[in-house]
């Protein structure tokens, strides 16, 4: 488990991190997001104690790293594996030698090193590249080797610092699948530093948004998207372009509770009116459906009734703009459902 409390980092008069509180439970994946200059990289360096915090605590598996020094700190750091943005492999060492390096630095017996290197390369799908040098590997392959090296000392925590930045979409998906597999199979707790919202949606259980050195919003990914219309929520699940339908009243929908697979048809039946889907993005997060939609409805429908009907199906509905009423002499909306 990672527990960060009151973490502050200053460089002279400049405060880069200001009272960070973040908790990542065992076997979970948390992502820290934010714009350039928000303090993400500084936070990563503080977590693995490459930078000493000015104040506050960073606990990994119950040990406050900021309070340790010397041999105790070196031992505690072994619990944190790090995967860097550029993999940072030594170019004169083969893939296998790069993975073996932390173990050899710890003085582990050579037979144990060889066995562990083989196990790790097999796990990350890189055994066939064991004797290749970094220059002979693709970006995604180098990151896989970096992950294997990060796991060399059997850490309880893995820190991924922009590990997918610059990779092509296929390589990114492969790395995210690998990290998820490591969490599921080995119970490793993973902290992901990223600016890519696709990465957060694809891997994270928990997300924290960092801005100007402070966490401005955090929570489970599913809860934020389902129960919030904040900038973070809309960035995590952005709406595609809306199909023009000027004769309809637009409504913004957000899945909030458990929904039936047929909820849209059921709402249409309840309202006695067709529901036109103008834009939609629905995904699954932590095995929970999350999504946003823009729909078009008859502008003569009562707003309160529409909102209540959607709410009864676990969906938050808000009108997206003023109603557009067509002046049709003698027209009226029947209270009976259409045949």
- pLDDT of 76: 84
- pLDDT of 251: 96
- pLDDT of 247: 93
CA distances from 89 to 33, 113, 137, 141, 228 (A): 25, 18, 11, 11, 41
Strands of 167-273 (E only): list them: 189-193, 206-211, 214-220, 249-255
- Would you say 91 and 134 are in contact if contact means Cβ atoms under 8 Å apart? yes
Instruction: Find the mean pLDDT for residues 46-54.
Output: 89
Tell me which of 61 and 246 has the higher pLDDT: 246
Helix, strand, coil: what percent of the chain each, to 5?
Answer: 35, 25, 40
- 323: confidence class by pLDDT, cuts 50, 70, 90: low
Q: Write the DSSP symbol of residue 38.
A: S
pLDDT at 328 over 50: no
- Selection from 182, 191, 185, 148 nearest residue 43 by Cα: 191
pLDDT at 335 over 80: no
Segment 103-117, tens digit of pLDDT = 999 999 999 999 999
What distance lies between CA 167 and its chain's CA centroid?
Answer: 17
- 285: confidence class by pLDDT, cuts 50, 70, 90: confident
pLDDT at 325 over 70: no
- Selection from 276, 280, 268, 337 nearest residue 309 by Cα: 268
Strands of the chain (E only): list them: 2-11, 14-24, 29-33, 55-60, 63-64, 80-83, 157-161, 189-193, 206-211, 214-220, 249-255, 276-285, 288-297, 315-319
- 266: confidence class by pLDDT, cuts 50, 70, 90: very high
- pLDDT of 259: 86
Instruction: Find the mean pLDDT for residues 281-302.
Output: 86
Segment 67-105, tens digit of pLDDT = 888 888 888 888 899 998 877 899 999 999 999 999 999
Give, in degrees to the nearest 5, the angle at Cα 199 between 196 and 204: 125
pLDDT at 157 over 50: yes
pLDDT at 289 over 90: no
Number of neighbouring beta carbons within 10 Å of residue 174: 19
| Residue 128 phi, psi dihedral angles, 5° rounding | -75, -5
Segment 214-239, tens digit of pLDDT = 999 999 998 898 888 899 998 998 88
**How much is the mean pLDDT over the chain?**
88
- pLDDT of 99: 97
Dist. CA 228–CA 232, nearest whole Å? 9
Instruction: Find the mean pLDDT for residues 26-32.
Output: 94
Q: Give the chain's radius of gyration (CA, Å).
A: 25
CA distances from 1 to 78, 122, 298 (A): 14, 26, 51
Q: Write the DSSP symbol of residue 277.
A: E
pLDDT at 252 over 90: yes
- pLDDT of 334: 38
* Portion of the chain with pLDDT greater than 70, in percent: 94
- pLDDT of 202: 85
The token pair that represents 147 in the structure block: 């992950």
Dist. CA 214–CA 200, nearest whole Å? 19
- Would you say 191 and 24 are in contact if contact means Cβ atoms under 8 Å apart? yes
* Longest distance between any two alpha carbons in the chain, whole Å: 91
> Sign of the C-alpha dihedral, residues 60, 66, 68, 73?
positive
Instruction: Find the mean pLDDT for residues 177-188.
Output: 92
pLDDT at 271 over 90: yes
- pLDDT of 167: 85
* Portion of the chain with pLDDT greater than 90, in percent: 63
- pLDDT of 14: 94
Q: What is the pTM of this model?
A: 0.83
């Amino acid at each position: 488990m990672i527990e960060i409390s009151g973490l502050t980092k200053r460089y002279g008069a400049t405060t880069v991190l200001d009272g960070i509180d973040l908790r990542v439970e065992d076997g979970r994946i948390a992502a820290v997001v934010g714009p350039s200059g928000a303090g993400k990289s500084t936070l990563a360096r503080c977590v693995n104690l490459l930078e000493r915090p000015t104040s506050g605590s960073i606990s990994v598996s119950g040990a406050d790293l900021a309070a340790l020094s010397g041999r105790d700190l070196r031992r505690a750091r072994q619990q944190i594996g790090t995967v860097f943005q550029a993999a940072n492999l030594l170019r004169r060492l083969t893939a296998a030698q790069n993975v073996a390096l932390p173990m050899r630095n710890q003085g582990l017996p050579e037979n144990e090193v060889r066995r562990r290197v083989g196990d790790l390369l097999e796990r990350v799908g890189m055994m066939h590249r064991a004797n290749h040098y970094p220059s002979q590997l693709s970006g995604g392959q180098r990151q896989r080797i970096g992950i294997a090296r990060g796991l060399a000392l059997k850490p309880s925590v893995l820190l991924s610092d922009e590990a997918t930045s610059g990779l092509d979409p296929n390589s990114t998906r492969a790395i995210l699948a690998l990290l998820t597999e490591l969490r599921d199979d080995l119970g490793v707790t993973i902290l992901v530093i990223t600016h890519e919202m696709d990465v957060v949606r694809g891997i994270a259980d928990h997300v924290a948004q960092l801005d100007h050195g402070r966490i401005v919003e955090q929570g489970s990914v599913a809860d934020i998207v389902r129960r919030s219309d904040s900038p973070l929520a809309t960035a995590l699940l952005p709406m595609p372009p809306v199909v023009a339908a000027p004769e309809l009243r637009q409504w913004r929908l957000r899945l909030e509770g458990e929904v039936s697979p047929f909820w849209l048809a059921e709402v249409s039946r309840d309202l006695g009116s067709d529901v036109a889907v103008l834009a939609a993005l629905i995904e699954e997060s932590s095995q929970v459906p999350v999504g946003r939609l823009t729909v078009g409805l008859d502008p003569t429908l009562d707003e309160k009734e529409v909102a209540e009907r959607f709410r009864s199906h676990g969906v938050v509905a808000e009108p997206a703009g003023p109603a557009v009423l067509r002046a049709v002499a003698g027209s009226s909306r029947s209270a009976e459902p259409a045949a």
